[in-house]
Chains A and B, each alone.
Chain A
Amino acid sequence: MNPTWVLVRARYADVPPDWSPRIDVFIEHGAPSVLEEEGALVAYFPEVAGIEEATARLSKALQADGATVEIGRLVEQDWTANFRDHFKPRRIGKRFVVRPTWEAFDAGPDDVELVLDPGQAFGTGDHATTRMCLELIEDVLAEGASFLDVGCGSGILSIAARKLGADPVVGIDVDPLSVEVARENAERNGVAATWVAGNGFDAVDRTYDVVVSNIISAVLIRVAPDAAEAVRPGGVWIVSGVIRDNWPDVRAAAERAGFALEKRLEELEWVAATFRR
């Protein structure tokens, strides 16, 4: 069956001199691209479990901004073939191969395949922050290490860790839709992990060998002390999602919490790093 997309259209009575704050509301809610119509903005979201809650949150934010919201559906049509042609299996780090569900890949004995559906909003492994995280995880993860992913998104990092032999693997995200997507992705990859919808480190009640947070700088700075409590002495905290300008503050927060910088990667304007406790 063809995938279905949920359409969200916001109509406005007035024409602002700059549409970007209104477009930004869509982008902040996970829309990759936004179409401008006469007096309206339109975006689409893949229909996965939890989409009603996600679109309800977006609608509320749009209405607070004075928009009239319409929700519709679009069944993927002939542009699908082209869309899918766009995604080919690709290598990340030394061993990872991210492949879309519909593409076959002849994996070598050392290759670790991550099967994802790039139709989904997040986690095609395409973004620099995700790619760097995968490389850092590959660097430090030992067989049997315990692994915690705070801000798990599509679950790609947790799934990767499990495939490298981490056990147990726990993924937490504040967005219930992400948790649902992560669960589906884990099943697709034939791996078991625990998925939790929750705020930051609130639900964490033990220590881990490896903790990963691919979030944003402000949150990383705030949760650094919680991360220190969740990492066992000698374990690591891998952070990503940091714009280069914010890196000094993130590093300072981690060091204040008792971490020492071990490795730092940089791509475009993004920074990712491994801290050891």
Chain B
Amino acid sequence: MAKKITSVIKLNIPAGKGTPAPPVGPALGQAGINMMEFLKKFNEQTAPQMGYVMPVEITVFEDRSYSYKVKQPLVTDLIKRAAGIERGAANPKTDKAGVLPKDKLRAIAEQKMADFNTKDVDMAMRIVAGSARSMGVRVED
């Protein structure tokens, strides 16, 4: 029988470098789960993606056991890497931070499709393009 879920915690933690500093410590401590065990597993599992920030969803059950799912890196991080920039534009409305070729946009959309909860690649591409625009990155064919 399925265990009863008491809470779902959504965190964004740097790959391989999670620490108990807040918000991680208080959020997991409050839920009563073994934080150090979680962090050790998270850091080991995400070490190959060091440099990215990883969204992770932790499901906590009634008996304080938990399961977690590490998602694909933040879209903004994937865009930065693909466009070869370290930062988005400070004023995305007026400044241009870089250019994202259409094929790379598609690759990011495909990588994030499951996280976006869609099977429609065009829709995923529209979401990624919107995020690129909001950081001053222009999409080009």
Contacts and interface: CB of A to CB of B under 8 A. Distances in A.
Interface of A: 5, 7, 16-18, 20-21, 23-24, 27-28, 32-36, 42-44, 74, 76-79, 82-83, 85-86, 118-119, 126, 128, 216-218, 241, 243, 245-246, 268-270
Interface string B15-34: 00111111111110100000
Interface residues of B, number: 42
B contact patch SS: mixed
A24 B88 contact: yes
Given A32-B19, A34-B12, A243-B86, 17 more contacts: A5-B21, A17-B130, A18-B130, A20-B76, A23-B76, A24-B135, A32-B21, A33-B13, A36-B10, A79-B29, A86-B20, A119-B21, A218-B85, A243-B51, A243-B84, A245-B81, A269-B51
A18 B19 CA distance: 25
A241 B29 CA distance: 34
A44 B53 contact: no
A20 B55 CA distance: 9
Contact of B135 (A21, A118, A119): A21
B128 A18 contact: yes
Contacts of A17: 116, 127, 130
Given A23-B76, A32-B21, A79 B88 contact: no
A33 B11 CA distance: 7
B74 interface: yes
B131 interface: yes
B36 interface: yes
A76 B20 CA distance: 11
B70 interface: no
Contacts of A270: 51
Contacts of B50: 128, 268
A5 to B, nearest CB: 5
A32 B130 contact: no
Nearest to B118: A17
B51 A268 contact: yes
B116 A43 contact: no
B75 interface: yes
A18 B85 contact: no
A33 B130 contact: no
Nearest to B43: A86
Nearest to B97: A218
Interface in B58-72: none
A77 B28 CA distance: 13
